[in-house]
Structure 1
């Protein structure tokens, strides 16, 4: 049986095609498109016309690939940008009519559960851990251990939201950094409370910006690692701190020139670095692991 999983993120649309084998699966194809659905007006709960059109065109392209691969079952999930947009339902309707793709808008809670299932599939969870998934529209936190999910929550403090609201200077100013961190501190009070009780030892970064941090480190030190083929990657904490401080203090042009940087994340990674570093500092965590398996793999796990 062949499955197609489409993850309609705020910045990127992902397509994964996999075939189920005996109690396992084989990935046949994967791609992503930088749609930037949250561009311009995510904080006004609007998908602007240009982003709307890019999104539908991406889904039309995905439909062609799905047809070529003779897929049996398609599951498309939309997260924060579509979930919060006043014209989100209109987008879902257009996707069905123009691309023949039925989109399911999932809640932040469902999103966190699927991220957990995906990360679990990677084998990254070995100790009491905090999974962090930094999206454009929302950030999901999942507290878990190797046996179970303990606590989860989705927060509307995604990188695109914070960037559009606060990030206006180049490089980011101290004032803007402080505004972002004050917002984050205010939002995450219940997370810090639950972590105080359970004391997670490891932060597991779910794909996205954490893949970019890994790529930047791997390119800088010429490590023989291919992130796109790995399920997990354990960061050297000093290397991670060094690269993220460099990102935060660099200009747009300097970041764009860094080997391993992708254009979509040139500015977004500054906000992601601030979010991740603040969380780890506040919780006194100094072990960081990347799971390249995220929501898409969680959806695949649910289908299998």
Structure 2
């Protein structure tokens, strides 16, 4: 299974695509970041700049292209920092959801700290108590924890873009401005530093874009990289202060050239390192270890912790079902989503028998089509329902007669897009009774597919109740609902064929099902 995590931050947007390799492990396939600097003006004005928003939307369109090309089944997108604070942040997120095609969840600073802790503790196999420092553009996240739990976490509005915009006006940085910033940071960190010292962490580990650059600059000061524990690179505070002095005495353009920095990084890097230096000083620490772990890794680890059990695959012993599963596997189908759709479609089918009048043979056809409905991704996301039809018609399917293959191919063809119509040659080739079967089953399949459009397996069970010409769908949702709320407008649109065929009105209501152990809070949470 492939998943993607996207982080929309104040300084940059990040994408991570990973292959799930076990119950608690994954392999990174793609890791990308694009500098956005949304906070450069928004942290001062309180509003996202229209040009910055346009660049952000272009970035998300590119991320969507990458996730589709890598055939990602689930995308977790989170927004932090300036997007959370900006007056027009919600407007940007609405547009971003349309462009990206995925739900974007806004999280708090403390939640950011928890996810960073999760990424670092899993990445480094953290055992002893450590102070984690994540320096972002809008805020600094501080947490003290070990591999089992977090003892303290906070988010302070001391991000390097925010501090640079507030204190730094000279280029190069003037000593007066540097002293004013240092004084402000010491005072702002006083309470958090006291709480950190009480927890007595044995290590300090830093993450974030600026500290990744720091590790490169630190190597220039010494002959060896000086790795720390568990492979994390260790940088002394005295080295950080020497680097700050070297950077601050130069204008940004010279800084970029001499230290091989991006022009955007060069401008605010001294401020970011001053913040790290202030944290170390306030906590009474002489060195820091640099970790490349980021928020996106924490998001995927969090998903693995809360992941609901997969829908059970069909029972063995049915050669036709085995042929269907073999074809699905050859096409690298989205297994969890497909089996969840099969589960939901079966529930709807059984509870609406009085409407459609179909029997067990058609029910098995619906189950097989549910498993195969997205195999067209194997060719392309665009028009994948038509590609699925082609694959069913021209692939090996042992045990299926030509008539059964045509029915199955038409059913996967009509799980989305245009409704079945006589102007379509493949549908016109069916007999009138076969056309009726395809119409009725595709109406059910469309609803089931829409209920798992996010591929998060949010709905566990559907309970139907008829009242006159209304059909009420009670959707029992699990704990994944908070990560990917259902798009009820989309579900209703996908129910139009069902309503038209059976002359009913559909009403969808959501209720939280009884929590499973995987839905509960884990010891790693704040």
Q: Please confirm whether the aligned pair reaches a TM-score higher than 0.5, indicating the same fold.
A: yes
Matches within 5 A, 1:94-105: 94-105=95-106
Q: Secondary structure at the match of 1:276?
A: helix
Q: Does 1:32 pair with 2:38?
A: no
Tell me what 1:266 maps to. Answer: 266
**In structure 1, distance between residues paired with 2:164 and 2:281:** 21
The count of corresponding residues between Structure 1 and Structure 2 is 301
Shift of 1:249: 3.1
- 72-81 or 200-209, which deviates more: 200-209
Shift of 1:250: 2.9
- Superimposed CA distance per residue, residues 111-165 of structure 1 (whole angstroms, 9 cap, x where no aligned partner): 1111110111221745432111110011100112344211000111111111111
Matches within 5 A, 1:221-236: 221=222, 232-236=232-236
Tell me what 1:70 maps to. Answer: 71
Unaligned runs of 5+ in 2: 305-526
Tell me what 2:93 maps to. Answer: 92
**In structure 1, distance between residues paired with 2:42 and 2:28:** 35
Q: Does 1:211 pair with 2:212?
A: yes
**In structure 1, distance between residues paired with 2:283 and 2:222:** 28
Flag the 1:98–1:11 CA change in 2: closer, same or farther, 3 A.
same
- The TM-score normalised by the length of structure 1 is 0.92
In our comparison, the structure showing a higher alpha carbon Rg is 2
**In structure 1, distance between residues paired with 2:258 and 2:92:** 35
The higher-RCO structure (CA 8 Å, 6+ apart) is 1
Q: Secondary structure at the match of 1:22?
A: coil
Q: Secondary structure at the match of 2:183?
A: helix
- 55-64 or 123-132, which deviates more: 123-132
Shift of 1:282: 2.4
- 251-260 or 214-223, which deviates more: 214-223
Tell me what 1:159 maps to. Answer: 160
Flag the 1:275–1:134 CA change in 2: closer, same or farther, 3 A.
same
Unaligned runs of 5+ in 1: none
Shift of 1:30: 1.2
Tell me what 1:82 maps to. Answer: 83
RMSD: 2.2
Matches within 5 A, 1:265-304: 265-304=265-304
**In structure 2, distance between residues paired with 1:109 and 1:224:** 32
Q: Does 1:58 pair with 2:34?
A: no
**In structure 1, distance between residues paired with 2:85 and 2:201:** 31
- Superimposed CA distance per residue, residues 228-249 of structure 1 (whole angstroms, 9 cap, x where no aligned partner): xx97322255444322332233
**Are the aligned partners of 1:9 and 1:78 in contact in 2 as well (CA < 8 Å)?**
yes
Flag the 1:231–1:262 CA change in 2: closer, same or farther, 3 A.
farther
Flag the 1:125–1:43 CA change in 2: closer, same or farther, 3 A.
farther
Shift of 1:254: 3.0
User: Which structure has more strand as a fraction of its residues?
Assistant: 1
**In structure 2, distance between residues paired with 1:225 and 1:90:** 46
Tell me what 2:111 maps to. Answer: 110
Shift of 1:178: 2.5
- 92-101 or 7-16, which deviates more: 92-101
Shift of 1:175: 2.1
Tell me what 1:45 maps to. Answer: 46
**In structure 1, distance between residues paired with 2:148 and 2:22:** 24
**Are the aligned partners of 1:219 and 1:260 in contact in 2 as well (CA < 8 Å)?**
no
